[in-house]
Structure 1
Amino acid sequence: MKRKDFLRGLGLVGIGSLAIPILNACSKDDDSSETSSDTDTATDTGSSSGTSGDCSVTSSETAGPFPTKSPSSLVKTNIVMDRTGVAFTINITIKNTKASCAALKGAIVDIWHCDKDGYYSEYGGTSMQTVDYTAVHFLRGRQITDDNGLVTFTSIFPGWYTSRATHIHVHIYNSSGTSLLVTQIAFPEGSGSAVALVNASTANGYTKGLSGYTYNASDNVFSDSVANELATVTGSIAEGFVLKHTINVAS
């Protein structure tokens, strides 16, 4: 399993909760696919780690180059802020390999991803990202796992940028704030996938299509092995998409 260096030392303060605004186009919260037109529905299936007898630690990946600067200040489930795009619900389950992959309650989970145009908040004004979003914090959030090891975030479907496949960054800590794992979540690809459908949805602002897109097989993070980082994504453009993924840590 590939091990990459990642950034540590993210701050931790008291955990609170915020009200969750409701998106106009709510995502479904089950695995069933929509019964709409073929051009509007995805029935992606991915292999989430820990869901089929695999109790090994999920692959570690880099946190950079755009990690959240002060994650403890972003305790919330709705991370959309002013971003627009296709509605997206992110369900992540954390399991503990030191307890036969039982659900890990009380773990701290930070996530972050780019907007529909491929830009990150908290960064910009440089050659890496010309648009300056240093003063805003969209599409970043923190939650604590429940009794089932689950955290849920309301977001918009990520876009992509040059040299990377569609992905979500995740940093997991134990309840005391000790870093357990930094990893990334990959998306199923191909005809009829959510990645293909969303990036064809110009009506929702996804204007780049997939011309120049880097697929998982060529991505510098996922190309060695994507099996235990690949999520399951279901839903439709009209109703929104739902991601489900399990991450195994040693706690």
Structure 2
Amino acid sequence: MERKEFLKRGFTTALSMAAIAPIMKACSKNADSGSTDNTSGSCTDTPEETEGPYPTHTPSSLVTSDITSDRKGVPLSINITVNNSNASCAALANAIVDIWHCDADGNYSEYGSTQMQSSDYTSVHFLRGRQTTNTSGLVTFTSIFPGWYQGRATHIHVHIYSADGTSLLVTQIAFPADVCNTVYTTATTYYTKGTQDTSNAEDDIFRDSLAYELATVEGNITNGYTLTHLITVAA
């Protein structure tokens, strides 16, 4: 089955497959993706991606900048700037930005006890949050460095809405491989699992759009890391 067709049909068939199949297919690229980001000075939209198998159930109830909750890991500050391609890539104020990602063990809150994720976190909401962009188009979150799970490179999910709640873009953010390798081989909570099994170049989401979805991540294990990323939408 084509990945695009899988996304249209949902996860029912996939859940009967081997464990790796549902994860890889559920996270594969949307059929209508393919636009490019504002990386090279042009003003075009960031690629659209699938929400994946773990979107937030009620994001409007999670208005918070510190999404860490009780999760342990290397501190990560997340700075996302949103620009408007319909206004010559001017900063987009008052946009609503939802983010979510897995914990150090590769598990998501709000899900669990399934073939795709055995750990049951259905009743908690860690590593999920919503913020509204300021006049510079910026939102900031406090979190931990994400872990990884089979078939995917390290990533953060992002869903952006206009001020009136209209969906503008669903996308994902990739991490530099060298930073991931450092975290996963030396930091407590991560190193017992080792480095991710899927590189950015092999990842179904990032392999044809990495240049537009790769964040800048700076810092170290001791003091934590800061992620900076620009997303351009048509608002």
Deviation of 1:50 after TM superposition, in Å, equals 2.6
Cα distance in 1 between the residues matched to 2:228 and 2:38: 12
Deviation of 1:121 after TM superposition, in Å, equals 0.2
Deviation of 1:202 after TM superposition, in Å, equals 4.4
Cα distance in 2 between the residues matched to 1:90 and 1:137: 18
The correspondence for 2:183, drawn from 193, 198, 210, is 198
Deviation of 1:52 after TM superposition, in Å, equals 4.1
2:33 paired residue number: none
Task: Could you tell me which runs of 5 or more consecutive residues in structure 1 were left unpaired when the two chains were aligned.
Answer: 7-47
TM-score by length of 2: 0.83
Cα distance in 2 between the residues matched to 1:217 and 1:241: 23
Runs of 4+ in 1 over 4 A off after TM superposition: 3-6
TM-score by length of 1: 0.78
Question: Are 2:228 and 1:228 aligned?
Answer: no
2:87 paired residue number: 99
CA contact (8 A) 2:68 2:126 kept: yes
2:232 paired residue number: 248
Cα distance in 1 between the residues matched to 2:37 and 2:227: 14
1:142 paired residue number: 130
Cα distance in 2 between the residues matched to 1:168 and 1:216: 13
CA contact (8 A) 2:76 2:142 kept: yes
Does 1 or 2 have the higher relative contact order (CA < 8 Å, sep 6+)?
1
Amino acid aligned to 1:244: T
Cα distance in 2 between the residues matched to 1:72 and 1:106: 15
Deviation of 1:205 after TM superposition, in Å, equals 4.1
Task: Could you tell me which runs of 5 or more consecutive residues in structure 2 were left unpaired when the two chains were aligned.
Answer: 9-35
Question: Are 2:66 and 1:50 aligned?
Answer: no
Deviation of 1:51 after TM superposition, in Å, equals 4.9
2:77 paired residue number: 89
RMSD over aligned CA atoms reads 1.8
Of Structure 1 and Structure 2, the greater helix share is in 2
Secondary structure at 1:216's aligned position in 2? Answer: coil
Q: How does 1:211-226 map to 2 (within 5 A)?
A: 213-226=197-210
CA contact (8 A) 1:233 1:242 kept: yes
Secondary structure at 2:93's aligned position in 1? Answer: coil
Secondary structure at 1:218's aligned position in 2? Answer: coil
Deviation of 1:209 after TM superposition, in Å, equals 1.1
Deviation of 1:55 after TM superposition, in Å, equals 1.3
Amino acid aligned to 1:83: R
Secondary structure at 1:200's aligned position in 2? Answer: helix
Cα distance in 1 between the residues matched to 2:104 and 2:42: 33
Secondary structure at 2:86's aligned position in 1? Answer: helix
* CA offsets 1:200-234 (integer angstroms, 9 cap, x no match): 12424442111x51001110111122111111000
Cα distance in 2 between the residues matched to 1:206 and 1:73: 33
CA contact (8 A) 1:187 1:230 kept: yes
* CA offsets 1:181-208 (integer angstroms, 9 cap, x no match): 000001111xxx2201110124244421
Deviation of 1:57 after TM superposition, in Å, equals 0.3
Secondary structure at 2:157's aligned position in 1? Answer: strand
Secondary structure at 2:42's aligned position in 1? Answer: coil
Count of residue pairs brought into register by the alignment:
204
